[in-house]
Amino acid sequence: MALLPIITAPDPRLKRKSAPVERVDAGTRQLMDDMLETMYAAPGIGLAAPQVGELKRIIVVDIAREDEELAPLAMANPELLWVSDEDAAYDEGCLSLPEHYAEVVRPASIRLRYLDRENEIRELEADGLLATCIQHEIDHLDGVLFVDHISALKRNMILRKLLKLKKSEQKAEVGA
Ligand code: NI
């Protein structure tokens, strides 16, 4: 297992569409495990492969609280089969947009199909935080960030701050 560096916005790699996984093999499982380890260490409740520079349709999720047992989900080619008419709003954050949060409205319940760690086709129904988190991660596979769901004004404010932070970090690295 290995910790992977997480790409932060703004970065063109976060805006690209990821390719489907042909089958979940040992290499895919390794990536899933590394992504889970990276997500837990961050800490975060979800991570998508493009966030670690792999343009593959793979996501990992675990919404268990600190006082609960781990409940890792690793999915390849997750695909929404159904979403509810009813919406839910959550304050979302993202490991690629550190320290920034905004309320995002999404369908409250979903049903999806995916390939699990053993390359088996699975279906899952989710609501609440799990539904939001899965939709957020699937968005990453299509180059969509949570800030793309909010007003342009707020989005640009967040991205400008992140760009400034990135530039100051780069300057510090050059200076060191
Ligand atoms: Ni994210």
The predicted-structure confidence for 64-99, as pLDDT tens digits, reads as follows 988 999 999 999 999 999 999 999 999 999 999 999
Cα 176 to middle of ligand 1, angstroms: 30
Over the chain, what HEC string results? CCCCCCCCCCCHHHHCCCECCCCCCHHHHHHHHHHHHHHHHCCCCEEEHHHHCCCECEEEECCCCCCCCCCCEEEEEEEEEEECCCEEEEEECCCCCCCCCEEEEEECEEEEEEECCCCCEEEEEEEHHHHHHHHHHHHHHCCCCHHHHCCHHHHHHHHHHHHHHHHHHHHHHHHC
Residues in the 5 Å CB sphere of ion ligand 1: 94
What pLDDT does 45 receive?
A: 97
Cα 19 to middle of ligand 1, angstroms: 18
Give the residues of the chain that fall short of pLDDT 50.
none
Q: Which residue has the tokens 């609280």?
A: 65
What pLDDT does 170 receive?
A: 84
Q: What is the pTM of this model?
A: 0.95
Cα 25 to middle of ligand 1, angstroms: 25
Q: CB of 120 within 8 A of CB of 23?
A: no
Cα 174 to middle of ligand 1, angstroms: 28
What pLDDT does 1 receive?
A: 73
- Give me the active site residues, please: 137
